[in-house]
Structure 1
Amino acid sequence: MKAAAHGLAVRRDFEVISLVGLAHAVSHFFQMVLPPLFPWLMDEFSLSFTSAGLLMSTLFVVSGIGQAVAGFAVDRFGAHRVLLAGLALLGASGLLLAAARDTGMLFLAAAVAGLGNAVFHPADYTLLNKRVSPSRLGHAFSTHGLAGTLGWAAAPVLMFAVASAASWRVAALAAAVVVVLPLALLAWRGDQAAPAGDADHPAGKAPGTRGRAFGFLAAREVWMCFAFFLCWTLAFSAVQNYLAPALGQIYALSLSVATSAVSAYMLGSAAGMLGGGFLVAGPAPDRIVAAGLAAASAIALVLASGLSLPVLVLPLMAAMGFFAGLAGPSRDMLVRKSAVSGAGAASYGRVYGFVYSGLDTGLAVSPLIFGRLMDGAQLHEVMVGVAVFQGLAILAALRVGRRLPLAARPS
């Protein structure tokens, strides 16, 4: 009987993790739908680089604001319903993009994509925390992060290939089609992921919450988690967008090799996320986060010095990505503990929505900082900036760990 029950729990956990991971991959896919199409969009709509960049800013600003609001919707209406709505909005954004006849429709498509993207972190993490067995949460978090990385990687390949073979409008339609299977699977099997009593309690009145609907904002650890994600993303966005040209000039690398360095970082990060899932069971996720980011920061400083051999750039970038990825699952566990400590398990949606809006804030702010450094040819400072923001993220993580009550520390 026990063996049968255990097998059922394992299958249920696997299904929940798979469904949520697939949805997360789609959300990250749509974050990268527009950039590969910029050459075609700029030509057809006479856009400047600044205007094209504003499309992405629109997506992330809407997503950042919407993410905090989506957390309340998750707690009120249930994570499963909100996740379905998010997927539907992403599909709609692809259709709007394909039908665009002027720049206004382009920005509308970007805004709708931002609204769709906004729901995923509060909905995903609420489902994982409420439905997956605690012993497998670490692996759930690592799989969730890895799925998002794969979504990022798949979008440029598919969008560029379809746009080159047919047109950018057909590519936008292809993006909309990507949503169909995950949406159908989640609608069909989503009852396996939906927590029992998922929407039984109005926000702010559910058992386990502390006070008003906005009571979680009184918890300092929640604000420190927001600061952590802001700093984390400021560093990651710089790696994603600016390290290829910076490293190329510092080490006299060809464009293909410099771009491969960022790919090496992403692959290393994916491997680190998988490994990090085995470390989450420890009692001090803040220290794992600190150790991983400290190693990544040290490597960033080595690269900033310009003293490394060019042949070592790719392995060093892979190592930096590995250590940053290793911290990922423990990062998510740290937020979980903060949510329980600061507001109660019934407020997962609100806490995750607010905290993870720091990601979108970082994505919106990073170009303002690192873009100016690149324009001023301050290439070494870009690498130093990555190390500095990772260091600030370490301080925030350790501060969160110190504020958690002892009862919240063990997994």
Structure 2
Amino acid sequence: MSCPLSNVAAVDRSATVPWQRDALVIGLVGMAHATSHFTHLLLAPLFPVFMREFGLSFSQVGLLTSLFFLISGVGQALSGFLVDRVGARPVLFASIGLFMASALSAALARGYGGLLLAAVLAGLGNAPFHPVDFSILNQRVSASRLGYAFSAHGLTGNLGWALAPVFLVGIAAIDDWRLAYWAAIAVYAVVLAVLWWQRDHLHTVAVPRPPGRSRADDLAFLRLPVVWGCFGFFLLSSMTLAVVQTYATSILQAMHGIPLATAAVTVTAYMLAGAVGMLVGGFVAARTRYVDRVVAWTLAAGAALMALAATGWLGGVGSMVLLAVTGFAIGIGGPSRDLLIKRAAPPGATGRVYGAVYSGLDTGVALAPLVFGVWMDHGWYAATLAGGAATLLLAVAAALAVGRRTGEQAART
């Protein structure tokens, strides 16, 4: 059943559009998305180096991450309007350029100010990515292949996360840390060159403001409860992600005495398992109408696994395995989640909707340390894992509410 709320034509073009053309678009957007996630960790892996080199504190380097996500979150909500007005392609090219400027600022940094500038530029560059990516995919990929497209999109993002620490720390260990950022500039340049070469496949149709429509009318989508349901879903689920990314290593060390190097593998395993889950999830999303139920069941399974890990009953290795499988379960629901949001987008507002709801992701990552960081300071390690499971269950409720709303809207049209 096609959803009339989507701004993608209801006609399935897969019979007339060669799969190779769709695959090329999906590959280009996936490469860009991996670059975005790579930039999420452009600075964090070398925090110990910055602290030693410039005499910085944990609070100072932590502010770099907070600044990045604050700018990215606010910018993401606003950039959707820009993408709808001028098209996704020029915004994408500008974002890659900002990533290059960020890496250059880090490479030339002579103190904390240079790193702050790098964080600001990276946040500005990252802000438009979800409105850009989903505008291109929704306009350029056949409707019946969107499940696979969203699967590849999520998978490549996880791979970008997994690559950044290995790339940056590996080069820094071999040579000077500044060389790692010059190498990152080279990677960005190659990505930009490929995207420019294939730019015809990235073109999207801008949505001009109709005559008689005011700027206030552009904000009408914010009155839709389903949009705020999607925002809440991302905020809650990303708090769980932040628990794993930020605290899983310390929790495993404290609860089970696992060595640092071994415990750190858990985060990588979570991300890679999530990528595999998204690959599987693409086939699931392409074969079901009830994407809200897929999201609910997979997140509920992830919450149960995380809660079991919080008990510590299976020991250190068992807890590591449980957290990795949690990433797999959540990953399966990723493509269905993106299709759910697509159904919530009114015609002509794809960029704005994706920008608004995905800003919930940055908001959740920014809020999680304010809550769970205090718990960790009190030594409530198991409670922190259990709290991550609880926010995931709340995200299940949000997903089902969104599914119910989109179903009701479809029935009325």
1:292 corresponds, among 284, 298, 307, to 298
For 1:69-109, what per-residue CA distance to the aligned partner results, in whole angstroms no more than 9, with x for missing partners? 11011001100111111111111111111112232221111
1:105-184 equivalences under 5 Å are 105-184=114-193
- Alpha carbons 1:210, 1:216 under 8 Å: kept: no
- Alpha carbons 1:139, 1:278 under 8 Å: kept: yes
SS in 1 for 2:283: coil
Distance 1:223 1:209 in 2: 22
Structure 1 pair 278–407 and aligned structure 2 pair: CA distance change class (3 A): farther
CA RMSD, Structure 1 to Structure 2 (Å)? 2.1
2:353 corresponds, among 343, 347, 351, to 351
Between 36-45 and 113-122, the greater mean CA deviation after superposition: 36-45
Could you say which residue in structure 1 is the equivalent of 2:85? Answer: 76
Distance 1:213 1:26 in 2: 30
For 1:29-88, what per-residue CA distance to the aligned partner results, in whole angstroms no more than 9, with x for missing partners? 111110122122112221101000101111111111111111011001100111111111
Instruction: Supply the AA of the counterpart residue of 1:325.
Output: G
The alignment covers a number of residue pairs equal to: 398
Normalized against structure 2, the TM-score is what?
0.92
Could you say which residue in structure 1 is the equivalent of 2:25? Answer: 16
- Alpha carbons 1:91, 1:176 under 8 Å: kept: yes
For 1:167-189, what per-residue CA distance to the aligned partner results, in whole angstroms no more than 9, with x for missing partners? 12211111111111111111121
Could you say which residue in structure 2 is the equivalent of 1:97? Answer: 106
- Alpha carbons 1:272, 1:322 under 8 Å: kept: yes
SS in 2 for 1:307: coil
Could you say which residue in structure 2 is the equivalent of 1:259? Answer: 264
Distance 1:408 1:30 in 2: 38
Could you say which residue in structure 2 is the equivalent of 1:312? Answer: 318
For 1:15-42, what per-residue CA distance to the aligned partner results, in whole angstroms no more than 9, with x for missing partners? 1001000000001111111012212211
SS in 2 for 1:405: helix
1:36-55 equivalences under 5 Å are 36-55=45-64
Between 159-168 and 75-84, the greater mean CA deviation after superposition: 159-168
Distance 1:310 1:100 in 2: 40
Could you say which residue in structure 1 is the equivalent of 2:330? Answer: 324
1:276 corresponds, among 277, 281, 293, to 281
1:369-408 equivalences under 5 Å are 369-406=371-408, 408=410
- Alpha carbons 1:301, 1:384 under 8 Å: kept: yes
Instruction: Supply the AA of the counterpart residue of 1:55.
Output: L
Distance 1:245 1:38 in 2: 16
Distance 1:210 1:287 in 2: 36
Normalized against structure 1, the TM-score is what?
0.92
Distance 1:285 1:327 in 2: 8
Instruction: Supply the AA of the counterpart residue of 1:220.
Output: P
2:35 corresponds, among 9, 15, 26, to 26
CA positional deviation for 1:356 = 0.4
**Counterpart check, 1:247 vs 2:218:** no
Instruction: Supply the AA of the counterpart residue of 2:332.
Output: L
For 1:295-335, what per-residue CA distance to the aligned partner results, in whole angstroms no more than 9, with x for missing partners? 11111111111222434223322221111111111111111
Between 6-15 and 328-337, the greater mean CA deviation after superposition: 6-15
**Percent of paired sites with the same residue:** 47
CA positional deviation for 1:406 = 5.0
- Alpha carbons 1:205, 1:212 under 8 Å: kept: no
Instruction: Supply the AA of the counterpart residue of 2:74.
Output: I
Give structure 1 stretches of 5+ with no counterpart. none
Structure 1 pair 8–171 and aligned structure 2 pair: CA distance change class (3 A): same
Between 102-111 and 235-244, the greater mean CA deviation after superposition: 102-111
**Counterpart check, 1:302 vs 2:304:** no
1:57-68 equivalences under 5 Å are 57-68=66-77
Instruction: Supply the AA of the counterpart residue of 1:369.
Output: V
Could you say which residue in structure 1 is the equivalent of 2:44? Answer: 35
Give structure 2 stretches of 5+ with no counterpart. 1-13
- Alpha carbons 2:273, 2:327 under 8 Å: kept: yes
SS in 1 for 2:116: helix
Distance 1:68 1:278 in 2: 30
Structure 1 pair 375–192 and aligned structure 2 pair: CA distance change class (3 A): same
Could you say which residue in structure 2 is the equivalent of 1:237? Answer: 242
- Alpha carbons 2:312, 2:319 under 8 Å: kept: no
Distance 1:190 1:223 in 2: 33
Instruction: Supply the AA of the counterpart residue of 2:344.
Output: S
- Alpha carbons 2:270, 2:324 under 8 Å: kept: yes
SS in 2 for 1:47: coil
Distance 2:315 2:191 in 1: 45
Distance 2:108 2:210 in 1: 43
